[in-house]
Amino acid sequence: MTDLILTTLDWVPEFPRGFVRDLRIRWALEEADLPYKIATTPVGDAAARLPFQPFGQVPWLTDGDITIFETGAILLYLGERSGALMPADRQGRAKVTEWLFAALNSVEMPAVPWSLYRWADDETQSPGRAHLERFLQGRLDHMEAVLADREWLVGPFSIADIAMSDVLRQLQDYGVFSERLACRDYVKRATARPAFNKAYADQIAHFEAADVERADRGDAR
């Protein structure tokens, strides 16, 4: 069997490490115990990525003559390859698929811009900012109700949980789970999994090794 190839950036600054999206794919590959290799693309050369990812982003996955971009599409592809990531029955697969889409649309849609404001320490107030706040809080309230009586979104742990917990993880340092204990505990359960911890450590090690290489070449950080 040919190893899968996961392509990510060769280097990023410290700020986004642990959140670069290849982490979700590393996590899924570790959960499924699928052999894979890491390839890199230069951080400063978006044009070189366009043949593989039309927005010049990462990651993408190569499986023989198949190349797939977008983390949701990659997760779904891997879920179809492994029973560790998606149920075998039609109903279970449909439920996992809908929650995968919900994570990347209904929840991540407000989570990303809200997080960017927080990461930038931008406290500027506007009607649009107030709407975004209400949008996110409403989505989190719905997730709190969903997670109140279940361990994972659909039966056993699945690709839907990789996506949803990683979306929620980016919010956990900002107090939004102080009264949403089901969401808080869900993220804790997910990120306590050995596959997540290996994926996270591997991503950090990848970029730290790149720091050394850049220093040896005299590149600015």
Measured between alpha carbons, how far is 139 from 10 in angstroms, rounded to an integer? 34
Q: How many domains does the chain have?
A: 2
Place 219 in a pLDDT band, splitting at 50, 70 and 90: confident
CB atoms within 10 A of CB 125: 9
Same domain, 117 and 74: no
Q: Shortest CA distance to 115 belongs to which of 41, 157, 173, 39? A: 173
Asked if residue 97 and residue 71 are part of one domain, the reply reads no
CB 103 within 8 A of CB 167: yes
Question: 63 and 99 share a domain?
Answer: no
pTM exceeds 0.75, yes or no: yes
- The per-residue pLDDT for range 130-150, each reduced to its tens digit, is 999 999 999 999 999 999 999
Same domain, 211 and 140: no
Looking at the structure, tell me whether residues 112 and 43 fall in a common domain. no
Residue 183 and residue 161 share a domain: yes
The pLDDT tens digits for 58-92 are 999 999 999 999 999 999 999 999 999 999 999 99
Per DSSP, what are the bridge partners of residue 61?
Answer: 6, 68
Read off the pLDDT of residues 160-208 as tens digits, 9 standing for 90 and up: 999 999 999 999 999 999 999 999 999 999 999 999 999 999 999 999 9
Q: Is 165 found in the same domain as 73?
A: no
- pLDDT tens for residues 111-129? 999 999 999 999 999 999 9
- Give the whole-angstrom CA distance, residue 126 versus residue 69: 35
Residue 60: strand pairing partners: 7, 69
pLDDT value, residue 129: 97
Asked whether residue 221 carries a pLDDT value surpassing 60, the answer given is no
What are the structure tokens assigned to 57, written together?
């982003």
Q: Are residues 132 and 211 in the same domain?
A: no
Q: What is the 3-state secondary structure (H, E, C) of the chain?
A: CCCEEEEEECCCCCCCCCCCCHHHHHHHHHHHCCCEEEEEECCCCHHHHCCCCCCCCCCEEEECCEEEECHHHHHHHHHHHCCCCCCCCHHHHHHHHHHHHHHHHHHHHHHHHHHHHHHCCCCCCCHHHHHHHHHHHHHHHHHHHHHCCCCCCCCCCCHHHHHHHHHHHCCHHHCCCCCCHHHHHHHHHHHCCHHHHHHHHHHHHHHHHHHHHHHHHCCCC
Q: How confident is the model at residue 3 (pLDDT cuts 50, 70, 90)?
A: confident
User: Which pLDDT does position 217 carry in this prediction?
Assistant: 87
Same domain, 110 and 54: no
pLDDT of res. 218: 86
Domain with 18, as residue range(s), is: 4-84+195-217
Between 220 and 159, residue with greater pLDDT:
159
Task: Please report which confidence band the pLDDT of residue 8 belongs to, taking 50, 70 and 90 as the band edges.
Answer: very high
Within this chain, do residues 176 and 95 fall inside the same structural domain, yes or no?
yes
- Predicted confidence at residue 1, as pLDDT, reads 56
Backbone angles phi, psi at 17, to 5 degrees: -65, 140
pLDDT, tens digit (0-9, with 9 covering 90-100), for 19-44: 999 999 999 999 999 999 999 999 99
* CATH number for the domain that contains residue 165: 1.20.1050.10
Predicted pLDDT at 211: 97
In a shared domain, residues 8 and 55: yes
